[in-house]
Structure 1
């Protein structure tokens, strides 16, 4: 049975492990930054189609020890790449490493590319072409100490590229991190949801898709469709079942607002192109002046970065005002604020009931939970 690895934003590994187990994955093991698992190819297709949290689904084709660059070349050359994809497919090699004793990762990348091409030339007298922008096949090399792992990427473009949002603002949050944050809030479809700093609308689109049972990968293509073992009939059946299970588009209790008209136009365009404009109510408003759209619900916000609001002292001025606005207007709501700024803990004048560590790429962040009770601000 094939071995797979699903990387994800750090902090979401437990969610991803639960999801994969519910899909029928075996030998599921979470590590920092992702989840190892085994399963059949139907599971691989399903994980690509349905996982809101994974960044990719990688098929491990080899794991071995090495001592030198020559060992790396030999390990790659020994694999029968021509059994997995066609010489006419374009390739790209990505290399990452932890505590790698070898001198140059760029050289390792070239070495792996040469070994794959040499294997094809030895087999069929031709070699695949390299395409670093839109390759048909991505080969991932991961080195840790003296351990070498080789993966074929079954996803293609990263899974957070849902095939729907094509317009972004400054410092957008990736879709799989936004989906993970929504899951961590405990929000359930049917509960009012408000993003008062919605930017390009990522939280809103993810929430609407969850509410209507729209699978995150339904609008895109995957690299596994280029592999020689691709079961087109199975994949067609899986997609048809996913589409049949979708709920009809209708107005939902999902609300978004933003101070900036340009951001709101972007969110509106993205919702329109995702076919979800009818589901979400948008309006231009200052987060400090907005009124709650329901008596209780979940508020979630990716707090602005310095580039968008101006200098950091403006953010320092915003936090206590935001705390006051939540306390005065949002009694009965639970607010979840996602931020990389530790100063907020002192300046908000509200005590978070939870502080969940998460990473936005390499940036360490916190998801702060505030259960709002009128008059609950801490002097």
Structure 2
């Protein structure tokens, strides 16, 4: 007896499952294969047709995960209902009592609250029925079962289906070697279809992947171009051990597919080539390419993104660049990857005018680092990771000249941010121009939900840079929403300020666990992106800034008026700069005419940075000494020499420090009185101490005001006046 006789074999009901985001593509593919009554659902497509159609879908679908044949849909509300519903099915017509069985169960309802419990009940029903009829029961085995049954319970409706696929259809069988972050084969196929590869291939265009990894995109592209059925490389399908398997139909379909494959591989295929900077991963790619049978048509080479160009060995005029670069999860990784994306964009613009480009990324912000504007974006899932396929069209030089600067299309939220940036440019930007200030803060969390600071830097060479630094979002803001707001800020900035994406540095402050933080990390910790710094001008000084390598840039912009004040009062004085950072204040004091100076900081990195600042401004290292030391210990040692010889001292400690190089812990609110007294003992009779800190809750101790002459200074420029508590400055003299 054939169970399909009772199921109207030309109108069987099927479900094709797939990754989220490609349901529409799968529906179109199934229609092309002959499916009827096609209906999309999240991560699935329902359709009707014959068993021959189901076989064809298993063999030819490039997008599906599984093809399920629905046996029944039954109302169940309890465990007893579930057992009876499953036991009522004629399982003896699907699997031998001595065979191997596997079950997949998903979903719950009010009574069946655990899918594992549901699977147990369903298994009992099947084996009990078969045991009652034959005295034998099937074994339960996950690997290579004779029958896989899929159950789905939703709102008291139980779908019972046979999995015709066996192993997931995305496992073609050619990929025995994979890279660190493998792209599933059916997702790679979806990327190719979304990017227009079938039409590009038909027109003879090339397919290039500059970061090909284990070669999945390349192999799928070759299989499409050669008309190769993706199921031909598999060892088996689930239906082959099913009692209702129609071997004659299957043999006919396989023979047809083999004939089409032979004809396809005999043709001259378009250029399909991949590159990767990791030679080791290319060994895996070559093995996979050979196993897929496309080694005559797909080639890979070891080459970094910075040298990516159109192949010269064959006349290739145009085509598609499609790639799935890494996207990173940690700040350091993302900063390093921005350089990779930037290099990719630069090479695309330089070498590939007129080409189409597709980039799949789990961090769309990195996609913007290419400097290209995507005209289409598709939401996809790479496994469980929300991702975007960004499609670009690289414009020719003529097109670029004709259209001029492209405007960035903004969401309503990003447009709101852009309006604020435009307003700030009209006010703060004009002030900076009049004041001769080349580096200033354009935006500082003006809109509370967009909590970040944007600083603009103009180099001595005339290039414009931006430093976008996110403030740590509160725990109530979801991570995805915080990232979306950061992207809005970036897009708004690009639309308002004419600045290349490569000249924008982004520092993200992601939430971390509450584990203890190691000493010595933070502003001193080097990031992964190590592009060189550049010089900027400030009141005649030339100062080095680095927007990429560290959390801080080497120049605190809110201290600008303090540095100018020190310059104005330093003529003829001996100057001491404690916690000097990159010694930009000492540079200004030297240009203001101070006779000699000592600048103390414990960081070797910043001492080296300060030395470069000194050289850039022609400062005499004998008159202006740099001392690598813990300022707390240095001050204690200096107390032994009671000669008061510093006319001007600048004390600018951090709010808190527990560096591994320090003997103790510095808390500025607790320790400021001690620090101030030590400095005052080093002042010449008419000397001045300028004391500065950025602790917004700081309060000067009353005992200091009684011991010394203390004057609060208002030293904030226009770009920081929105939040006057950002910086505290006092001038102190001995009474």
Coarse TM-score class (shorter-chain normalised) = over 0.9
Partner SS state of residue 187, structure 2: helix
State the distance in 1 between where 2:330 and 2:298 align: 24
Cα displacement (A) at 1:53: 0.6
**Counterparts of 1:308 and 1:259 in 2: how far apart (Å)?**
21
Residue 246 (structure 2) aligns with: 231
Which residue does 1:248 correspond to in 2? Answer: 265
Q: Distance in 2 between matches of 1:369 and 1:248?
A: 29
Counterpart in 1 of 2:395?
Answer: 373
Do 1:192 and 1:254's aligned partners in 2 also have CA atoms closer than 8 Å?
A: yes
Q: 2 CA distance for matches of 1:123 and 1:302?
A: 54
User: How far 1:66 moved relative to its partner?
Assistant: 1.5
Alpha-carbon distance in structure 1 between the residues aligned to 2:130 and 2:108: 29
Aligned to 2:219: 205
Partner in structure 1 of residue 59 of structure 2: 49
**Cα deviations across residues 132-180 of structure 1 (Å, max 9, x unaligned)?**
2332321111122222111110010110111222111111111111111
SS at match of 2:53: helix
* Structure-2 change in CA distance of 1:48 and 1:100 (3 Å): farther
* Cα contact 2:68–2:165 (8 A) shared by 1: yes
1-structure distance, mates of 2:251, 2:245: 11
| Contact 2:101-2:140 at 8 Å conserved across structures | yes
Kindly report the root-mean-square deviation, in angstroms, between the aligned alpha carbons of the 2 structures.
2.1
8 Å contact kept, 2:21–2:379: yes
Tell which deviates more after alignment, 333-342 or 307-316: 307-316
What's the secondary structure of 2:66's corresponding residue? coil
- 2:17 is equivalent to residue 7 of structure 1: yes
Q: Verify: 1:283 aligned to 2:301, yes or no.
A: yes
**For residues 68-88 of structure 1, what are the alpha-carbon distances to aligned partners after superposition, in whole Å with 9 as ceiling and x for unaligned?**
122111111111111112223
Aligned residue for 1:331?
A: 353
Q: 1:24 to 1:251 in 2, by over 3 A?
A: closer
Q: Give the C-alpha shift of residue 275 in structure 1.
A: 1.7
- Greater relative contact order (Cα < 8 A, sep 6+): 1
Distance in 2 between residues matched to 1:266 and 1:101, nearest whole Å: 49
State the SS of the aligned residue for 1:344: helix
Runs of 4+ in structure 1 displaced over 6 angstroms?
A: 307-310
**Which digits, 9 at most, give the CA deviation of each residue in 1:104-143, with x for residues without a partner?**
1111111111111111111211111011233232111112
Match of 1:300 in 2: 322
Alignment of 1:344-359 (within 5 A): 344-359=366-381
Deviation at 1:300, TM superposition (A): 0.4
Matched pairs, number: 379
Unaligned 5+ runs, structure 1:
none
Is the CA contact 2:107–2:153 (under 8 Å) kept in the aligned structure 1?
yes
> What secondary structure, in the 3-state scheme, does the structure 1 residue paired with 2:192 have?
helix
Q: SS of 2:37's equivalent?
A: strand
Bigger mean CA deviation after superposition, 310-319 or 227-236: 310-319
CA distance in 1, matches of 2:145, 2:95: 12
Q: Which residue of 1 aligns with 2:49?
A: 39
* In structure 2, C-alpha distance between the alignment counterparts of 1:41 and 1:251, rounded to whole Å: 33
What are the ranges of 5 or more consecutive residues in structure 2 without an aligned counterpart? Answer: 1-10, 406-493, 495-499, 501-735
- The 3-state SS of whatever aligns with 1:206 is helix
Deviation at 1:98, TM superposition (A): 6.7
Aligned residue runs from structure 1 range 55-204, under 5 A: 55-97=65-107, 102-188=112-198, 189=201, 190-204=204-218
Instruction: Indicate the SS of the match to 1:235.
Output: helix
Over 3 Å counting, the alpha-carbon distance change for 1:169 and 1:22 in structure 2 is same
- The equivalent position to 1:219 in structure 2, one of 205, 208, 233, is 233
TM-score, with length taken from structure 1: 0.94
Alpha-carbon distance in structure 1 between the residues aligned to 2:395 and 2:109: 49
Instruction: Give the TM-score, by structure 2 length.
Output: 0.50
SS in 1 for 2:16: strand
Q: Is the 8 A contact 1:251 1:278 kept in 2?
A: no
**Which of 295, 298, 312 lines up with 2:334 in the alignment?**
312
* Contact kept in structure 1, 2:23 and 2:43, CA below 8 Å: yes
Contact in 1 for aligned 2:363/2:387 (Cα 8 Å): yes
Contact map agreement 1:196 1:301 (CA 8 A) in 2: yes
SS of aligned partner of 1:242: helix
Does 2:287 align with 1:269?
A: yes
Task: Work out whether residues 63 and 148 of structure 1, in 8 Å CA contact, stay in contact via their aligned partners in 2.
Answer: yes
Q: Shift in Å at residue 369 of structure 1?
A: 0.5
Distance 1:130 1:150 in 2: 18
Is the contact between residue 251 and residue 280 of structure 1 (CA under 8 Å) also seen in structure 2?
no
The 3 A distance-change label for structure 1 pair 46 and 349 is same
2:206·2:319 contact (CA, 8 Å) conserved in 1? yes
Q: Is the 8 A contact 2:233 2:292 kept in 1?
A: no
- Give yes or no for contact 1:93–1:138 (8 Å, CA) kept in 2: yes
Report Cα offsets for 1:290-312 as digits up to 9, x if no partner: 11223321000012143899723
1 CA distance for matches of 2:289 and 2:108? Answer: 40
**Larger deviation: 254-263 or 91-100?**
91-100
Q: Distance in 2 between matches of 1:186 and 1:8?
A: 20
Preserved contact between residue 226 and residue 269 of structure 2 (Cα < 8 Å) = no
Residue equivalent to 2:440: none
CA distance in 2 between counterparts of 1:342 and 1:101 reads 43
**For the residues of structure 1 that align with 2:175 and 2:368, how far apart are their CA atoms?**
35
